[in-house]
Chain A
């Protein structure tokens, strides 16, 4: 398996624009996690899914953030409208049955 695949690797956008980050988990994994990492706040859990169902979205900062998992092989994290304070590295990770989480390479988002 190619591992967890995230796209794009880098995204630069203007404030107010919509941003969509994508994640393809490892085939067969049943949990998917979205994280945001900054120097100030570390690695924050935003939301996680089990079998495509959102289980805990308490880490989603505000209504501008939304996440979906329409099937077992794809998830999106959307920010609309984006703001400069959303600039961070966003990671997606997947696991099977609560075992080790495998991380994607991350998407570095810059909002100017």
Chain B
């Protein structure tokens, strides 16, 4: 079974801090990944798509992919209370998700 692993948290950071979320995967055939955000009681929504080794930045969000070590991470700079949600990573090729990490940003 192809696995996508995430630390379920919860992860708590103060407002303005950097939140770091991590995901590891077992299938070396996975080449690209999505990061989704899910607010409580809502559906997942896309934040980032990354397919190349290295960093990809979009506003306050930076996704990092390291294919050799088989991990993908998401950094949220200047965290805001509105960032409090569960963050899910997923493989692009078959849309398998990790269990998600619950993030709380405290004012």
Chain B residues numbered 80-107 whose CB sits less than 8 Å from any CB in chain A: 88, 90, 92-100
Interface residues of B, dominant DSSP: loop
Nearest chain B residue, comparing its CB with the CB of A33: B95
**A104 and B43 contacting across the interface, CB-CB below 8 Å:** yes
Nearest chain A residue, comparing its CB with the CB of B45: A103
In the bound complex, CA of A100 to CA of B33 (Å): 10
Interface size of B in residues (CB-CB distance below 8 Å): 19
A79-112: CB near B (< 8 Å → 1, else 0) gives 0000000000001010100101101111000000
In the bound complex, CA of A91 to CA of B94 (Å): 16
In the bound complex, CA of A44 to CA of B93 (Å): 15
- B4 shortest CB reach to chain A, Å: 9
- B16 shortest CB reach to chain A, Å: 29
Which of A41, A48, A100, A103 sits near B94, CB closer than 8 Å? Answer: A48
**A103 and B97 contacting across the interface, CB-CB below 8 Å:** no
- A46 shortest CB reach to chain B, Å: 11
- A12 shortest CB reach to chain B, Å: 17
Which of A33, A56, A93, A98 sits near B92, CB closer than 8 Å? Answer: A98
Provide the residues of chain A in CB contact with B44, threshold 8 Å.
Answer: 43, 91, 103
Most buried by A among B46, B94, B95, B99: B95
Interface residues of A, dominant DSSP: strand
Provide the residues of chain B in CB contact with A93, threshold 8 Å.
Answer: 95
In the bound complex, CA of A31 to CA of B92 (Å): 12
B1-44: CB near A (< 8 Å → 1, else 0) gives 10000001000000000000000000000000010000000011
Chain A residues numbered 25-62 whose CB sits less than 8 Å from any CB in chain B: 31, 33, 35, 41-45, 48, 56, 58
Provide the residues of chain B in CB contact with A44, threshold 8 Å.
Answer: 97
In the bound complex, CA of A42 to CA of B88 (Å): 9
- B6 shortest CB reach to chain A, Å: 8
Can you identify 7 A-B contacts, CB atoms within 8 angstroms? A91-B43, A95-B95, A100-B46, A101-B46, A101-B90, A103-B45, A106-B43
Chain B residues numbered 33-83 whose CB sits less than 8 Å from any CB in chain A: 34, 43-46, 49
